[in-house]
Amino acid sequence: MGVSTYYAADFPSTIYPFDAGPAYLDEVSWTRPGMSGKYSMYCFAGASDELLEQYPLVRQITDRRGDKSLEYRLRRGVRGLFETIRQAAVAICQVEKLRITKIGLTIPVQWTLDFETSYREIVSQAFSDIDPAQIHFFTESEALARYLFRYHNRELDPTGKRYGSMMFLDFGGHNMVRMPPVSVCPVLSYPPAC
């Protein structure tokens, strides 16, 4: 069942694992040291040194592997983000008389199965009523293609002709390569498939 109405939502992906305050806030704090929650996946997945060389900003946590206190706060922060998203998604589904049955998550193309396993585990904790097998991963360009073909098929081809293939070029970059994000959109596609 497709939902044709989209709701505005903005969930900061910044987490705060470096001090004793709440590990996730639903607004950006300019007074606390924070980082993108996406960075934590490199720690949880045990990213290779070759991959970490491409993303020096991740070193602030991966160099501290084995620090159980930091890992606990990283998990709390990312889980807090997904619990906040879950609350908003459930509220929308209650109004629309829908329920969440599947979750589609966009991921960077560089992420391996270890990343997916770690990511699925954290999302499953926040969305505990969803079967983990119903959490699916798509690269950003795959997600764009699925969205366009599902909801905008007529705009892509107003003549109604069917083509055997279509090219999508994704020039997006990994937001951790050079600059730390100030505020980014959630990793979870919103709203989740209800």
Beta bridge mates, 35: 15
Question: Could you give the C-alpha distances from 84 to 1, 52, 73, 78, in angstroms and in order?
Answer: 24, 29, 16, 10
Q: Which of 189, 81, 74 is CA-nearest to residue 126?
A: 81
Query: Taking a C-beta distance cutoff of 8 angstroms, is the pair 32, 21 a contact?
Result: yes
Distance of CA 149 to the CA centre of its chain: 22
Residue 193 has pLDDT above 50, yes or no: no
At residue 9, does pLDDT exceed 90? no
Least confidently predicted of 19-33, 130-144, 167-181? 167-181
Instruction: Please state the rounded mean pLDDT for residues 83-87.
Output: 91
Comparing 181 with 80, which gets the higher pLDDT? 80
Burial string for 154-183 (b: 16+ CB within 10 Å, else e) reads eeeeeeeeeeeeeeeeeeeeebbeeeebee
Backbone angles phi, psi at 104, to 5 degrees: -110, 125
CA angle at 179 for the pair 173 and 181, rounded to the nearest 5°: 85
pLDDT digits (tens, 9 = 90+) for 144-160: 777 777 766 666 666 66
Q: Report the residue count for the chain.
A: 194
The whole-number pLDDT of residue 7 equals 54
pLDDT(140) > 50 = yes
Three-state helix/strand/coil letters over 100-157: CCCEEEEECCCCCHHHHHHHHHHHHHHCCCCCHHHEEEEEHHHHHHHHHHHHCHHHHC
Between 21 and 149, name the one with better pLDDT.
21
Q: What percent of the chain has pLDDT over 90?
A: 35
Whether the predicted pLDDT of 79 surpasses 50: yes
Sorted by sequence, the CB contacts under 8 Å of residue 69 that are 6+ apart come out as: none
- For 43-70, the pLDDT digits (tens) are 999 988 888 888 888 888 999 988 999 9
pLDDT of 96 above 50 = yes
